[in-house]
Structure formats: C-alpha cells, structure tokens
Amino acid sequence: MEELKQIVIRGTVTDAKTGEPIPGANVYLKSDRTNSAFSNEQGFFLLETEPQTPADVLVITAAGYQRYTEPVDLDKNITLQTALFKRAKTDDDRSVSDITLVKQALAGSQRAYTQLMDRYRDSIYFIIQKMVKNRDDADDLTMEAFGKAFNSLAKYSSDYAFSTWLYRIAINNCIDFVRKKRLETFSLDTPIIASDDDEGQQPVKDYESDMPNPEASFIQQQRIMRVRNVIDRLQPKYRKLIEMRFLNELSYEEIAEATKMPLGTVKAQLFRARELLFNILNNQDDRF
C-alpha cells in the first residue's frame, strides 16, 4: 500500500439533541492547535495534516457545547460523525453573557457592540479566510458580517446561541461573495464555437474598441463625485481611514503603520466608518 503524504480528517458536527448542524465549530489536533478547521453551515469540516506515528487527539469545540475529544491514529484518512452536547448553563457561561450583551447593545450600549466584536472577530476571520484564501477579502468580509449582524440584532432569538447565529450570517455572506466573484471572472470575450461539425469552426469573438466610451466616463465621474461628497460628510478620523482603505487601496497593516494605531483599532474604526457611510447612503434621495 502506498504511504499517504497527507492525512485528511473530515466529518460533520451536529447538536446531539436536535441533530441540527453546528457551524463554526473549531476542529484541531491537540498536538498542533495552529492547524485548525471550522465547520461550515452544514456542519462539515475538513482538516489536513501530515502522517504521524504516535496517536493524537482530535478536539472539537463550539460555543455553548461541551468540548469533544477523540483519539485518532494519523496513518490513514478519517471520517467522523460527531454529536456535541450542550453545556449546563452557568452565570459565567459565554452563551448567557452573549445574550446579556445583545440586550445591552439593543439598548444603545456601544461598549456591548465592541465586546461582542472583540469576542468573535478572530474566529469569524479564520472561518472566512479559509473560504476565500485572501487576507484583505477576509478582513472586509469580517467587517461586513458584523455589520449585517448588528443591523439585524433585533431579529436574534435567544433560543439559539448567538455565536451560531453570527457564524451563519458570516458564512452566508461569504458564500454570496464567492458566488459573485465567480460570476465577475466569467469573461464575455470567451471564444464561442458556432458549431461542432466535422470540419470544425473558428472561435467567434466580438472584439470591443479600447477607446473610452464618453457616456460611460461621464457617468463614472458623476459616481465618483457623489461618493466623494458622501465621504466628506464623515468625521475627519473616519474620512481619513476610508480614503486610505478604499481610495488609496492600502491594506489594514499599512494603515496601522501610517496612523500609528493598533491593527485592531484600525479595523474597529473602519467598521464604524463603513456603517456611517451606509447610513448616509440610505438616507440620500439619489441612488448611484
């Protein structure tokens, strides 16, 4: 038998009581927590690792559930069906404190919003980063996920763990992004075969002029002016960050270095800036 160069551990994570999939469960080996995987909205996960002679322990954690462990021999591929049991609620249980923070946020506490974001930002980012394979896209999608969740916070039901609800929003938003990106990469200039007879046909291709379209250029300029006017309505600290990120196309790390601010502060303030922009655009009569 040929020796495997890569061991694949795959499976699904479900609620032991309801049988429903658990998204956002963290899956890793006890010997190397840095190499982890997260379950998707169907509860499916896939973890790759190198073959190891000694047995290891697979660990699965999810907010509101007991930690799951299972010894594994890393000399073959593994498929698991894992059911997690909910933890008994206590005063310091994160799921309970999440509900408290949600109530405080709905009452207008900005600190509660910040605490929820600080609590789940990293785990949301790692889930998304594994899906899109791009750090900048993962940063943006993480901020979008929190924005959508916070704008819909009144719809959250405490019958479900806040983390599960948040992970579902983040994953669905990420799936929409990936689908849209795939559509945008489809080229209308792709050769089309007119027919497939015995002699074959040359690809039919419609070449467009490289000359700029005056009407399109005018419309684009108008849009840029309107966006510029909206950005100018922001507070200076937010306006500067938006300009650096979306006009100058700097990365989060480059912005942090230029402004001498911690990376986490840059991300939090950009999230707030984008939220303000969204509110301004929603209140405008003009659409663009």
**Calpha distance 108→104 (Å, rounded):** 7
More confident residue, 156 or 96: 156
More confident residue, 202 or 216: 216
Rg (CA), the chain: 24
What is the average per-residue pLDDT within 158-180? Answer: 83
Confidence band of 207 (pLDDT split at 50, 70, 90): very low
Helix (H) or strand (E) holding 96: helix 94-106
CATH 2.60.40.1120 fits 7-84, yes or no: yes
Nearest alpha carbon to residue 99 among 16, 36, 160, 172: 160
Asked if the model's pLDDT at residue 233 lies above 90, the reply is no
Domain chopping of the chain, boundaries: 7-84, 94-183, 214-282
Helix (H) or strand (E) holding 250: none
- pTM value is 0.48
Nearest alpha carbon to residue 172 among 134, 146, 151, 145: 145
- The correct CATH number of 214-282 out of 2.60.40.60, 1.10.10.10, 3.30.70.3270, 1.10.260.40 is 1.10.10.10
Asked if the model's pLDDT at residue 92 lies above 70, the reply is no
pLDDT, tens digit (0-9, with 9 covering 90-100), for 211-225: 555 555 555 565 556
Asked if the model's pLDDT at residue 4 lies above 50, the reply is yes
Same fold, 94-183 and 214-282: no
What are the structure tokens assigned to 256, written together?
């942090």
Asked if the model's pLDDT at residue 118 lies above 80, the reply is yes
What is the CATH code for 94-183? 1.10.1740.10
